[in-house]
Structure 1
Amino acid sequence: MKLLTVETRQYLQYYHSRYQQVEALGAELYVLNGEGTEDFWPADRYRLVGTKNIEDMIATAKQWHAVEDFAGVITFSEAAVVAVAAIAEALGLPGIGVEAALNSRNKLLMRQAHERAGAPIPGFRYVTELAQARDAAREFGYPVIIKPTLGAGSHFVFKCDDDAELVEHYEQAAAGIREMFWANSEADGIDLGPNGLLVESFLDGKEYLMEAVSWDGELYLGSVVDRITAEGGTFDDDVHHAPTSMSAEDLVAVHEVVKAGALAQGLRRSVMHAEVRFHDGRPHLLEIAARVGGGGLDMIARITAEHDPIAAVVAIGADRRPDVRHFRPTGTHITAMCLISEAGVVDRVVVPEEVSGSDRVFLLKITASPGDEIKRPPDGNTILGFLGTTGTSEQDALALMTDFASKIRVEFR
């Protein structure tokens, strides 16, 4: 089976490990990049368009499809979800459709879809100037959240506790989104909806992340992860624990909320990364992305819930029902984190053998290379990589992960 995967703008080598997983599952993977480097993937299965204009990408994909006869088109990149939907439609292959892709990419369109369906969400206002943001904050009451409509990875997402912080962070976010990789990596020639800022009411409960599948009206929560981060003014310092500590009753409520959101967005056959936060004892939708979660969430799903999000991508890409079940934990505990450093230009990252050689480390991925610039809030949200450990309990896994993280050293130029 031949599958085509797409990146509108190549994101380093970040998705290579997932491409390799796709091939390990028996698919032959072909890679189409709009903008990128020449030697990104084996030459006989790689095309570089040289532009991320959607018409040029579609034309290249059509020519290639006529020769290779792809079974489907997939992506792991948030910035390519809409482009992949357009390419799949043009090739007559399975896909979520452009409208559902837009509802799953643009946070304003997503909120509007949720609102129409009556799904529980925070209060929200789309704002184009500071005065509107301040009016929304007065309406909702502090604290409020400010976030980009075309963001990803918590870039330029801020919690504002008062008017002074709103003024400061509004200017930072408004300036930041003009240069943000994820917004600027979307395909050209598609109306993505407003590229601006949302002000949202703050949800004060616990947050959970799910790798899920929607298939013909049913919603499957494949894995459920607790976010255990001690929060500050930004949402970049991600620390996770799985399996979830959520009660059975809360899981039922979350399932219904995610199902309502998926149907509202138009996701009938799709993998999903869903984020939910509780408020006043009820789950509310933060977002539902039409892709699998980043970092090591696919590995976490396999270890703690025997759910394989990558296998689901392959099956759904070929229009086959994936092998999926409702959430059932294995009993293995993990904790995982983003590796955060100070800002600067990386000279090297040093990982001791004690860490890299441990059989309790299931996730160790250094994404920063020598010469990369690490940006930290309010200028950006670049991380060094990811670290995850297993344990007999949350406390056991967390203690080891914290110790190992302290031993990974970054040297700056």
Structure 2
Amino acid sequence: MRRAVVCVETPDFFLDEMERIASEEGDEVWVLSPEGRHRDRQRAILVDPRTEHDRAVQELARLVGQPDAVLTTQEMFLTQASAIADAFKVARTPPAAVAASRDKARMKEIWLAAGVRTPRGLFRNAIGGPDLALDGLEFPLIAKPSQGFASCGVRKVTTRAELDEHLRKIFLVNSTVVAKERLANTGFLVEEYVDGPEYSIDTIWFDGEPLCDGILIKGNAPGPYYPDRLYHMDPQLPAARADRIREISYRAVRALGVTNGATHTEVRFRDDEPFVLETTNRPGAGGLFYQLFTSASGVDFHRLYYLAATCADSAELRARAGGLTPKALPDNEYPFWYNLPHRGSGVIRAITGLEQLAGRGEVDRCLSYKQPGGVLYPEGLEADYFVSVLGVYRPGPSDPPIADYVRRYDNMIEVTF
């Protein structure tokens, strides 16, 4: 049976994987996107579902007929992709659960009611100011947009003056980047700071059950900003800690009602107690983490993600999936994803150094999200990725830890504004 899979505003690197799998399965992939860069794809519909939901549904019905699945790897298109899937009666996770996964304030309410450990916090949908009551919260605190993504606008604040200053920046993020999604009740969260190590876990779900996981350590500095900078796999991660991460992340996802597709969940530890920070119904790093997990484990995460969206039942999925047992990570291999910082902001005139960085022996992929004519925002907003580097670090006896090693990439890329 030939299936039609619709990818809503999905980056090219992930679309290529979906099209590879669709070709193997005898299916077809369509891309629904407002971006003209997709114009040359064989099956592209250039409509922005954030502003033209009805037209998007009409064009899909006219050109595709009845889609079998509607996917997105992009945080800012989750609710729109869910609404389109619901319009065609192919939504596998209820739209209300997708909406909850897009709203950090709502998900915190759900977790507290379900007994899922999460940092204490407060939500407001106004800018705040000196009269904002902190309800017993003590500095240092984390302040972030309630409907942000990719650590956009997340900051640790240590004083009331820092908090008030950062809330004004969050208002800017909400009124520009986040506003494009047209979500209701947009605001900010202020929550207690959990000072231990942070991990992320990507899980692919089918009918309420996890199929596979990938766990990464988040190698950020201790603040004040928390951009998604370094994530890496750790061959020395204790099995007991990995089990704790899985257990709390599964409880968090199930409490929200997410049953199918991808989840990316962030967990921090205080001593030996895990706190779930947030989750979302999409792959990590827009899907780039799947390349790491596939190479390291031998399990094709892209294929499982595709099959979880298209298979009728678990028997069909397991028959088509192949192996689900991951291979062990070698003791001295650290697969990593590194998001380069940038100096300056404004309209980009030129980017140099990408080829030299891509040519390094430990680098498997160097991907620039920005091109000349694009915009980079000031530090602290972290509204978008700049350049992602994927590779495998194999340190020798005298080599530095991975977090120190990858920082040498920071000065290899030059941006002219």
Q: Is the 8 A contact 1:211 1:309 kept in 2?
A: no
Structure 1 residues 399 and 218, CA gap change in structure 2 (3 angstroms): same
- Pick the aligned partner of 2:83 from 83, 86, 108: 86
Q: Which residue matches 1:268?
A: 259
Percent of aligned positions with the same letter in both sequences?
A: 20
1:324-335 to 2 correspondences below 5 Å: 325=324, 329-331=328-330, 332-335=333-336
> Is the deviation greater in 39-48 or in 167-176?
39-48
Cα offsets for 1:189-227 (capped at 9, x unmatched): xxx441111111111111001111223343355211111
> Is the deviation greater in 227-236 or in 392-401?
392-401
Residues paired across the two proteins, number: 395
RMSD between aligned alpha carbons?
A: 2.6
1:152-167 to 2 correspondences below 5 Å: 152-167=149-164
1:84-123 to 2 correspondences below 5 Å: 84-123=81-120
Q: Which residue matches 1:206?
A: 197
Deviation at 1:70, TM superposition (A): 2.7
Q: Which residue matches 1:54?
A: 53
Q: Gaps spanning 5+ residues in structure 1: where?
A: 8-13
Q: Which residue matches 1:24?
A: 20
Q: Is the 8 A contact 2:266 2:279 kept in 1?
A: yes
- Distance (Å, rounded) in 1 between the aligned partners of 2:256 and 2:348: 40
Cα offsets for 1:24-82 (capped at 9, x unmatched): 1234210112x332x5244651112366232332222233332xx43211111111111
- Pick the aligned partner of 2:43 from 45, 65, 71: 45
Match of 1:155, SS? coil
Q: What code does the residue aligned with 1:226 have?
A: I
Deviation at 1:176, TM superposition (A): 2.6
Q: Is the 8 A contact 2:293 2:301 kept in 1?
A: yes
Match of 1:210, SS? strand
Structure 1 residues 240 and 133, CA gap change in structure 2 (3 angstroms): farther
Q: Is the 8 A contact 1:109 1:193 kept in 2?
A: no
> Is the deviation greater in 310-319 or in 326-335?
326-335
- Distance (Å, rounded) in 2 between the aligned partners of 1:370 and 1:46: 24
Q: Is the 8 A contact 1:205 1:277 kept in 2?
A: yes
1:6-405 to 2 correspondences below 5 Å: 6-7=8-9, 15-25=11-21, 26=23, 27-33=27-33, 35-37=34-36, 40-42=38-40, 44-49=42-47, 52-66=51-65, 69-127=66-124, 128-130=126-128, 134-136=132-134, 139-180=136-177, 183-186=178-181, 192-236=183-227, 238-243=229-234, 245-294=236-285, 296-319=288-311, 321=317, 323=321, 325=324, 329-331=328-330, 332-344=333-345, 345-351=347-353, 354-393=356-395, 395=400, 401-403=406-408, 405=409
Q: Is the 8 A contact 2:78 2:102 kept in 1?
A: yes
Deviation at 1:335, TM superposition (A): 3.1
Q: Is the 8 A contact 2:48 2:56 kept in 1?
A: no
Q: Is the 8 A contact 1:211 1:224 kept in 2?
A: yes
Q: Gaps spanning 5+ residues in structure 2: where?
A: none
Q: Is the 8 A contact 2:364 2:392 kept in 1?
A: yes
> Is the deviation greater in 315-324 or in 108-117?
315-324
Q: Is the 8 A contact 2:5 2:71 kept in 1?
A: yes
Q: Is the 8 A contact 2:194 2:268 kept in 1?
A: yes
Deviation at 1:329, TM superposition (A): 3.7
Deviation at 1:374, TM superposition (A): 1.4
Q: Is the 8 A contact 1:210 1:221 kept in 2?
A: no
